[in-house]
Structure 1
């Protein structure tokens, strides 16, 4: 086997899918599929036996899930880089796979050219994520940043936690009676809180309060 060939393991419990992937990879000169696996235990054994440069791992497999397999490969066989090939585009799956040691994540509906690029990139020890995965990761980062900003903004404001609860209810369009029922306080107490909030934030009306709350990320809409 030429030394410059990228050795690849395909681990997926669907035989037809493995065959399809293998056919694609066999058409690429610098790729060679050295092993296949239909479950997690077999995947680990194939890595141990064949020392592939890249292990293409599905998340949902019998015996051992893809995340556990990824962790074992990362811990015991660091020379093999893991590329997750999955149908799951939810952020929990993506971030858990990265946490367990995968350096690439690509969806099963990716085009062939992107799949090949992902393997080449991961084989070099570089991270690769397809566009949909990047979008999910970016959205997660932005949401975390917003939550962080919200906490800092609230910390800097002269309002109490109870007053923040009132603001959230006001933005929802609840009346004083409805707010009182939700927070277990009297309508008169609600009105007192609302007046205090306007005074503290130097606002003149409920409309201004709603705009202020949305603009400063005090509430999620």
Structure 2
């Protein structure tokens, strides 16, 4: 799956604060185009599944008392739908069997992005190439080696400065390159920038 494609995610949780908070996080995930549906009841979940089954269902294992995962899977046997447990309280490990992944209240933006990307195999094509860099991360490397500040990068790419910083942190972690010179060499070798573009900023 390509990162530009829309990922439909349904969030089934009775607490408005938890549900809306998670939806806000999902909409801010870098490099992922997420469309969300909020579900507040089992009846609402049934309507959602009949109208359009999402690629990912994030559900509290204690949704409306108890969420019977096995019965749900039998009723909606769509094999490619991933089901993620939303952990808001202490949960018995047995309740989490059968889920494809878990998200909890202490996960940060990067952790949630990684889990969703892994579930959907986003950047599958890029993984085989440049150390799993996303297209957006490649763009940011190009901007950095051209001498742009975080604020300038954010303005050019129409994203927040916070998102730029998150991308730069991910780039450093993935490439294990900690200097501007190292990043410049990487960008030239991998044809992310032309040598002439870098000379102006050396």
TM-score by length of 2: 0.50
Of the two structures, which has the highest relative contact order with CA contacts closer than 8 Å and spacing of 6 or more? Answer: 2
Identify the structure with the greater helix proportion. 1
